[in-house]
Structure 1
């Protein structure tokens, strides 16, 4: 296909046009050719070994690695460009940041998505080249960012489906790339969002999703209901949870409460959330209207840390601050300043001066936008520091109460769910001095720093106002034996729940692809039982466990997804999120009577009901 430089610049909204295509002899072109060659060689397994000339192993395979470097030129219709930096004639300063934060390149243009669609790195383009090299004619088989977006944008408009259970959804899993260069199954590789302060703008798909849902939903929250929670659900977001969201046309991240989950038309209840209604946090009376946003511009709360509060707000909880008074006093101060300025202007227009003793009033300490922003941060800190239970069961004793679920800080957690917990040696006590139940393995000795296990919750209870969790504790493990022959893997049945099954399905699909491609002995992941009915106190629970591939795609962890596409998956996503009680500014506040009491006046709407969720309040 291809685009001329004029077509690219005409379609671009940038104030700095791209230059002419770089010649093959340019440093950037050479660098891309080398990096593309390495990426293609790595993904196809080309030249991993050479014919045995210097020795071989017991199987007759060569032990001599191929150190040949391969160069891959751009396919026909694709061209490499930079935005020439001011004062530079050849674009050699292309890696710098131009005016307004624009990146100067180099970029590869030519994708059918449009003249301004560009690959920003050799790693991005390599995924597309793998598809071009394959026999596939379906763009859905390409895992590059631009093809994924092109296919997604071609989907029909979305409409609301109220009763949504946020459970199983197919997760893209890489498949083997044999010597014939068959294309991998789509694996989204978006740009990583590294901090809440700024991020790439939402894709047009997110805007279309939000607009479609906004037209088909009502603004009256009291008329909406959510489906009952399902233990072990794999979806990333749930009703009444605190999340980060990216407002339309803005790069900053903001905080809000999920009011309702929405799905695409025709999708089963097991499909992933497509969008959500969000109530922004803020000061009472200053909250902005609720938003309907695509799930790709939402993030779990523990993805980021809340920035420190400004002077004047630090050390205060949301409930402790008198927000109406703060708003009123600053509004009055702003009005006084405006009135004085008008009087001064009128006097000058008439050639007069203000009466003796007239003094300019003090400026307001904060503007309304600042007050609302600080209120959202204070509210988020308060919500994260509290918990409230629901679904009461018969009491075990006068002091022990059992529940079906809990809002633990930002997250909704129910029996059957998976949570990240502190790993523990055999016989060690939990935060309340209790033993950890029976163990299925010997964990003696020191555990590596940061070791995290996964608990399937069997019981949620409060004991003298202390929150406790009881469940089977697992750790992801990899066996090198043939599938099904490892005694540890088959000693116990895998934990029940769609989330546990999906995590193994993804990991074993990746391992199968890698082992088949490399003709290695079959390996597989399994859930290794560490404790049966282990106990964990509230401060030993980090937060919900999310399916690694779903979380990586949502957080735009390009490195993790690229490694998965190459057949490698570790525990990066288990450690990708913060621990609830170790986030900045954490001040424990304990149990609240209900989720509404926890959120307080931080949102301007009533929480819509969740079917089956009955709180003690």
Structure 2
């Protein structure tokens, strides 16, 4: 006998302000239309093959309705709960904002396979601006929940509508054909907690609004966000490089170039401060590895154990060192880099609280990370979690130290029997999913690789981040070797590149070190005047050298 799902007791929370509209106008002069699926979309008559495809209202207090409202209520309270007073309490949105209605798209194919998806209608821009998931609606709801919001909402739908909405002077984005009724009451809760504690005037952890014009990604940022991109590595990153057939060293990338449709990298080996090997051109990505791909090697000179790079008396070490001091110099320098961070490209237009600054990117340990891309997170057990970064916020705690917060959505890698549609993910992650499912024969096996959102607008610290997220298709071929990689693909096995990577700080007990910029992070481990190219964003116009003069060691 089937049993009903247990109902979890939840405290209700309500957002009284709404910009919802029951009707909208497609074109000026035309009669308003209902802000819901069209009449044709509601017809549930089966086709000749028995398949059906239609929309119907979601029943109040049904499973899908409760699922949406539980997630939205919980996320909303936790986002505004700066003191974590309600982290152990379950909340539910008592109702959707006025004039917002939840509909269900029902599809049953000729074989009887059934799929239902929820869509929330009511956005003042009309039925085409429906919300496809609780996560997609959350930013809009948080904007509505902020007392007297200013400017425009920056949720995915509002931000993508350009000039189709305008501010009516109260901070609510509406169309020129304004809805008949908009409730401007303040946010209220139906719990015992005080509204001033639960819903402060400045939301923490919620991206609300900004009256400043947004700035788009830079050319380099766009280049690094391309799926199946041209480069695996980025300027300023710490990497392993192949010195000889069986020997690897540590170096930093100064610049990169595409030549004959293949990437090339100019890498500068790390060393002690009194001798620096010449730079190398690497035109095979297989000759490079991410720093986090391998563990930190043991120092050759035992007396250096426990020392940092700048604590070493290098003149004395060079005289007494039994082998090559360059190797130990590079290892100690790499440990400093692994512990360091520096932010770049301050975003003057991003919304920030007093004393905070937002940046478009960060050098975190060995890697260069941009806003808008995923990073690997530490997790309990075998879960694969990533954070898709929306904001990087820094608050200085002293002239030389700071707290850095990443704001974004946490996603978990899962295997499911039904593909999840309309994922709001970076193009690189979507491309990687499509490749995995194609190789593993997801459509034939009925088991799909997907990302499931776990926590929207989450806040994480430097210590929560393991490192960059890499496409498995691109990196695992390098880490596993082409032969092993192709053999596993032929057997329908893709694996995950992150499982073959360490995390930042795994073998380094030094705390986070804030650096002024990337060059100061490298210090004396690179030649004086060493510079990291900004690539397409570089006004200096760095020229990638063509060849190395073997007699002088100078590139031309």
TM-score after normalising by structure 1: 0.47
C-alpha deviation, 1:563, in angstroms: 2.5
Number of the residue aligned with 1:376: 330
Partner of 2:234, secondary structure, is: coil
C-alpha deviation, 1:528, in angstroms: 1.5
1:568 aligns with 2:524: no
**Structure 2 residues without counterparts, runs of 5 or longer:** 1-217, 540-556
Which structure has more RCO (C-alpha within 8 Å, separation ≥ 6)?
Answer: 1
- Of 571, 590, 613, the residue aligned with 2:513 is 590
TM-score after normalising by structure 2: 0.51
Q: Is the 8 A contact 1:387 1:590 kept in 2?
A: yes
Partner of 2:221, secondary structure, is: coil
Separation in 2 of the partners of 1:325 and 1:591?
Answer: 29
TM superposition outliers: structure 1 runs of 4+ over 6 Å: none
Which runs of structure 2 are paired with 1:78-477 in the superposition (5 Å)?
228-230=220-222, 232-233=225-226, 234=229, 235-247=231-243, 249-265=244-260, 267=261, 274-293=263-282, 294-309=284-299, 310-324=301-315, 326-327=317-318, 330=319, 365-367=320-322, 370-394=324-348, 396-423=352-379, 449-463=381-395, 464=397, 465-477=402-414
Q: Is the 8 A contact 1:319 1:600 kept in 2?
A: no
- Of 400, 412, 417, the residue aligned with 1:480 is 417
Aligned residues: 306
1:361-414 Cα offsets, whole Å, 9 max, x none, are xxxx215x5211111000000000000001112372333221110000000001
Number of the residue aligned with 1:440: none
1:198-254 Cα offsets, whole Å, 9 max, x none, are xxxxxxxxxxxxxxxxxxxxxxxxxxxx9623353454200010000011x341110
Taking structure 1 as reference, are residues 422 and 299 closer, same or farther at Cα in structure 2, changes over 3 Å only?
same
Q: Which protein is richer in strand relative to its size?
A: 2
- Of 461, 475, 479, the residue aligned with 1:551 is 475
Number of the residue aligned with 1:602: 525
Q: Is the 8 A contact 2:339 2:508 kept in 1?
A: no
Separation in 1 of the partners of 2:306 and 2:445?
Answer: 57
Taking structure 1 as reference, are residues 278 and 286 closer, same or farther at Cα in structure 2, changes over 3 Å only?
same
RMSD of aligned residue pairs (Cα, Å): 2.4
Taking structure 1 as reference, are residues 451 and 524 closer, same or farther at Cα in structure 2, changes over 3 Å only?
closer
Separation in 2 of the partners of 1:275 and 1:229?
Answer: 18
**Structure 1 residues without counterparts, runs of 5 or longer:** 1-225, 268-272, 331-364, 424-446
Which runs of structure 2 are paired with 1:31-50 in the superposition (5 Å)?
none
1:537 aligns with 2:461: yes
C-alpha deviation, 1:308, in angstroms: 2.5
Number of the residue aligned with 1:345: none
Taking structure 1 as reference, are residues 461 and 535 closer, same or farther at Cα in structure 2, changes over 3 Å only?
same
Taking structure 1 as reference, are residues 375 and 603 closer, same or farther at Cα in structure 2, changes over 3 Å only?
same
Q: Is the 8 A contact 1:382 1:589 kept in 2?
A: no
Partner of 1:312, secondary structure, is: helix
1:111-160 Cα offsets, whole Å, 9 max, x none, are xxxxxxxxxxxxxxxxxxxxxxxxxxxxxxxxxxxxxxxxxxxxxxxxxx
C-alpha deviation, 1:597, in angstroms: 1.0
Number of the residue aligned with 1:526: 450
Separation in 1 of the partners of 2:462 and 2:523?
Answer: 22
Partner of 1:229, secondary structure, is: helix
C-alpha deviation, 1:613, in angstroms: 7.5
Q: Is the 8 A contact 1:552 1:561 kept in 2?
A: no
Separation in 2 of the partners of 1:398 and 1:320?
Answer: 37
Partner of 1:275, secondary structure, is: strand
Partner of 2:458, secondary structure, is: strand
1:504 aligns with 2:441: no
Q: Is the 8 A contact 1:236 1:300 kept in 2?
A: no
